[in-house]
Structure 1
Amino acid sequence: MKTFPTRVVALTGALAISLGAAACSKSETPAASAPSASSTASTPAGSSSSTSAPASDAPEAADILSKAKANALDATSGAFVGQVDQGGKTIKIDFKGTSDGKTADIAIDMEGDGKARVISLPEGVYIQGDATFWKKQGAPAAVQKAGGKFIKAPVSASSMTQSLSLKSFLEKAFGAVTPSQLSTDVASESVNGVDCWVLTDTKGKEEGALYVSKDASQVVRFTGSTKSPGQLDFSKWNEDLGITAPAKGEIMSVG
């Protein structure tokens, strides 16, 4: 029983990090009640309007990438929401958390494999899943009957919080993007009301794009390729995310 919740924490963290590599890769194809970090993990519906030609006043693509990467890795906290395709299945994610992983709230909806939510705090890690998720994970019978309640992971799960860290995710994501992959043409686009520089793969936007805010050099959006579509929208950089533990009545004791 004690190793089971710890394994679920590790799984959720690994999924979050792998989503970054999938949505951020450019020259390679990116690879009960519903739990949620806010309501449910969902596809971002933000609008964007694109220029039809490269922006003549744009900085060098490599410089934009360098500043965006530095700001992202230096951030104390952040959030992202979106979806990617992995192995022919759609995975939706709603993530918010701190750079060190000690505080995080992650909801994941895995096509055919259920929905799960993990809340990580210094005082403990709480896991919620729907019936499909718990069954797929081979959870004990008591947990499979938990309904919408959270289970609290043992103290040993605290060592897994690094896998839930924003920094680990971003390091994996930016590890899939190198200056040599970028087109020298930088476009200008508005995403959810934010003016952005748009970096694309040398093969074109259909192989992936990175959207970076012009004013603060912050990551706004990552997209995947047409063959392996994905989109992650970022926000709340360096903000207080207001993550709290579930109410006592929402937590089930598993012994």
Structure 2
Amino acid sequence: MKTFTTRVVAVSGAIAISLGAAACSKSETPAAATSSAAATSTPAATTSSTTAATSGSSQAADILDKAKSNALAATSGAFVGQVEQNGKAIKIDFKGTSDGKTADIAIEMEGDGKARVISVADGVFIQGDATFWKKQGAPASVQKAGDKFIKAPASASSMTESLSLKSFLEKAFGAVTPQQLSSDVATENVNGVDCWVLTDKKGKKEGALYVSKDKSEVVRFTGSSDSPGQLDFSKWNEDLGIKAPDAGQIMKIG
């Protein structure tokens, strides 16, 4: 079972990387070089325009910094949505703590089936449909598990860090830098929350980060044209009520 657990964790990690890459595409021209060129030979009017752009960039960078700090400091959180990886759609519903010791992750992979991973103090439990287990090359007994959970071996507990909220967020924010952001900061209401909208310099279609105005919390990530997707965040620092499956839901493997 260790191999199967490793693969499930690897899928979760791959989704996090996909999210990070989708957040904002990298700018081809370093911001510092662009600013330097403008400062050396531009008239006063252009300099004024540059100052305004710098001010806008500063606002975007400040919003990003606060959102990142709050997210990485959060004790728990949740997100739901869909990303695309290698041309295939992946749906994910994640709830978990920052340290990964408690998590409930449901994943549906186009062509590869559905899986759910629950990590609690009692252990790591994996549930998969027939397609998922077949793709993993699971033993015949596991492939007949139906809707039952399989308890992973004790060694799997060391992998919980890969299932952590912090791990996902570090990968996501690792792909976003202030230099990539447009100096234009828009506003939008998302699911009843008033948000600042930070976009890639190439425009909203190439990635956006939505941050709540009142708490500077991440509300939504959207992807780029090359890596489409959308993840909506909620339940920051809340008790997520995650519990181990009932004993009757766990399949015993002899």
Q: TM-score range by the shorter chain?
A: 0.7 to 0.9
Q: d(CA) in 1 for partners of 2:219 and 2:120?
A: 26
Deviation, 1:23, is 3.2
The superposition leaves residues 30-63 of structure 1 with CA deviations (integer Å, 9 ceiling, x where unpaired) of xxxxxxxxxxxxxxxxxxxxxxxxxx99970000
Q: Which amino acid aligns with 2:163?
A: L
Task: Give the RMSD, CA atoms, in angstroms.
Answer: 1.8
Secondary structure of the structure 2 residue equivalent to 1:238: coil
The superposition leaves residues 8-27 of structure 1 with CA deviations (integer Å, 9 ceiling, x where unpaired) of 44224323422432432333
1:66 maps to 2:53: no
Secondary structure of the structure 2 residue equivalent to 1:60: helix
The superposition leaves residues 53-90 of structure 1 with CA deviations (integer Å, 9 ceiling, x where unpaired) of xxx99970000000000000000000000001111110
**Aligned residue for 1:157?**
156
Deviates more, 1:158-167 or 1:9-18: 9-18
**Aligned residue for 2:111?**
112
Unmatched segments (≥5 aa) in structure 1: 29-55
Deviates more, 1:165-174 or 1:10-19: 10-19
> Relative to 1, partners in 2 of residues 1:59 and 1:213: Cα closer, same or farther, differing over 3 Å?
farther
8 A contact 1:75–1:238 mirrored in 2: yes
Q: d(CA) in 2 for partners of 1:251 and 1:162?
A: 23
Secondary structure of the structure 2 residue equivalent to 1:221: strand
Deviation, 1:225, is 1.4
Q: Which amino acid aligns with 2:102?
A: T
8 A contact 1:94–1:106 mirrored in 2: yes
Determine which structure has more spread, i.e. the larger CA radius of gyration: 2
* Matching of residues 3-152 of structure 1 within 5 Å: 3-27=2-26, 60-152=59-151
Q: d(CA) in 1 for partners of 2:70 and 2:22?
A: 19
Q: d(CA) in 2 for partners of 1:178 and 1:9?
A: 29
Aligned length: 227
Higher helix proportion: 2
**Aligned residue for 1:208?**
207
> Relative to 1, partners in 2 of residues 1:58 and 1:207: Cα closer, same or farther, differing over 3 Å?
closer
8 A contact 2:56–2:184 mirrored in 1: no
8 A contact 1:207–1:225 mirrored in 2: yes
Secondary structure of the structure 1 residue equivalent to 2:145: coil
